[in-house]
Amino acid sequence: MSRIDLSNEYLRAAVTYNLGYRDLKALARNALQYSFLPGESLWQRYDRLEIAEACAGTLPPSPAPSSTCAAFLASSERAREQWRLEAELAAFEALDWTP
């Protein structure tokens, strides 16, 4: 675990095990879902990616969570990190990759 570069680990997973973007996205989500971070999950049903009731309708790329969702995120480090990941994934997926 020491001196690893997570970006290179994702590259290695893609090249060595022929993982696609969806697989890598699932790995990133799993890393937070099953982490030791305190608090509730952003996902009410993780197997279906159903968002917690407090944040229903405000998943990124929404500009800002609702007040109910913001309170939920403030109470859960795990949910906050999951929200951050979803925002970063949405931003990445919105990029124009055409040459």
Sorting pLDDT into bands at 50, 70 and 90, what band is 1?
A: low
**Type and span of the H or E element at 44:** strand 43-45
Say what the pTM is.
0.88
Q: Where are the alpha helices (DSSP H) in 1-99?
A: 6-17, 21-33, 67-75, 77-94
Contacts of 1 (CB under 8 A, 6+ apart): none
In this prediction, residues 67-93 reach a mean pLDDT of 95
Residue 70 CA to chain centroid, in angstroms?
16
Q: pLDDT tens across 15-74, in order?
A: 999 999 999 999 999 999 999 999 999 999 999 999 999 999 888 777 789 999 999 999
pLDDT of residue 4: 79
DSSP annotation of 12: H
Per domain, the residue ranges of the chain are 6-94
